[in-house]
Structure 1
Amino acid sequence: MRADAQRNYDRLLEEARQAFIVRGTDVALEDIARHAGVGIGTLYRHFPDRYTLMNAVFEKELDALTQHAHELITADDPAEALTKWLRRVAVHSASYRGLSAAIMENGGLRMPSCKTRLRTAGGALLWRAQEAGAIRPDAQIGDLLKLTHAMVLAAEKNPEERGLFDRLMDLALDGLRTRGKTQEGREGTPEERGAVPAAADERENAGAATG
């Protein structure tokens, strides 16, 4: 790529990143080109459509998420490591309004590089947690990412419900953990496994009181 073309490419990426954060991923591409000091034709030569531009921006941003996954891969608690990483993914998604919807749309047809990097980084954390017996063996990283993004979307659409994302995430992660074992790995008591009706009733009553 020629030096001037590289400069245009870099400016477009930076302007797109700022625009996506401030105005959302549905911002007019003409506005991004204008702020970058180039014509819309130049933008389309580098990025044939909106999703190509989004993918390029998020590919660059995913460096931090990938690095975070590498740092967590040796954590003492593999399940907690996976949890921390998914929460970081959620923060990343919330910073870019529309990212969650874009990643969830049309399976793997849109933003393929972004999906691949996320699944590779998170997949290693999930595999380690499953090998440790802490996370259900039927869990798949693609499903966990879609679930995380769905919860981000729910929180975005209900801003008046403070703490909604954290509550949903806690429920989802509790469902991922293997049943019948405590966090220390020993076999749980019937109450811990939820096998005693009285214990289940107490939890239900507590939930009704706080809901």
Structure 2
Amino acid sequence: MRADARKNYSHILSVAREVVAEHGIDASMRDIARKSEVGLATLLRHFPTREALFEALLCTNLDALTQKAVELETSNPPAKALESWVGDWVAFAQTYKGVVSMMAAAHTNPASALYASCAAVHSTSARLLASAQEEGTARADMNGDDLFALMTALGWAVDQPSFAPRADHLVRLITSTILTRQSGNDVYK
């Protein structure tokens, strides 16, 4: 990529981050181009679809999130790692209004620009769940798809202004449903 194109790309992403933080996933591509002081054609050359723009916006956050899961796995018992992961996911989900519904739609669509990121979140969640199940601290009757669905539902809920203040409480409720007991023998069920 040429130096000027790389500069435009970085500037567009920076402006897009601000616009999307303010307006959510329905932010206008035209507004992003205008506020970036580039033409719509330039924006679309870098990001041909809304999903491509969101993949670029989210990939750093999602990479950091999945890396955090690795750290959680190595420094915590499986149940605690899973509980922390769900909390971290919800914090991520609150980053951009509407991002969870976009990711839920992309989750089963290999043609989507967000598919790889969704697959990484899904596989990380499944791995953390499997570890907790092997430890005997998570329900045995659920799988990674179930956990991804619950996390998506929770992400959607805390995206609603009326539920956002209760995010931590809702995370505890959901994780207490998933976890049969935590290490330290605190019984949930």
Q: Which structure has more RCO (C-alpha within 8 Å, separation ≥ 6)? A: 2
| SS of equivalent residue, structure 2 residue 146 | helix
Paired residues for 1:19-34 under 5 Å: 19-34=19-34
Q: CA deviation at 1:83?
A: 0.8
Query: Quick check: 1:154 aligned with 2:163?
Result: no
Paired residues for 1:46-195 under 5 Å: 46-105=46-105, 107-109=107-109, 110=112, 111-159=114-162, 162-163=165-166, 165-178=167-180, 183-184=183-184
- Provide the rounded CA distance (Å) in 1 between the counterparts of 2:158 and 2:18: 22
* Alpha-carbon contact 2:86-2:175 (below 8 Å) kept: no
Give the structure-1-normalised TM-score: 0.77
* CA RMSD of superposed structures (Å): 2.5
- Provide the rounded CA distance (Å) in 2 between the counterparts of 1:39 and 1:70: 41
- Provide the rounded CA distance (Å) in 2 between the counterparts of 1:59 and 1:76: 25
Larger Rg: 1
Query: Quick check: 1:14 aligned with 2:14?
Result: yes
One-letter identity of the residue aligned with 2:171: M
Residues paired across the two proteins, number: 186
Identity %: 33
| SS of equivalent residue, structure 2 residue 147 | helix
Query: Quick check: 1:42 aligned with 2:42?
Result: yes
- Provide the rounded CA distance (Å) in 1 between the counterparts of 2:87 and 2:139: 19
- Provide the rounded CA distance (Å) in 2 between the counterparts of 1:117 and 1:145: 11
Q: 1:7-38: per-residue Cα shift (whole Å, max 9, x none)?
A: 22222222212222122111111111122221
Alpha-carbon spacing, 1:89–1:161, altered in 2? closer, same or farther (3 Å): closer
Q: Where do 5+ consecutive residues of structure 2 fail to align?
A: none
Give the structure-2-normalised TM-score: 0.85
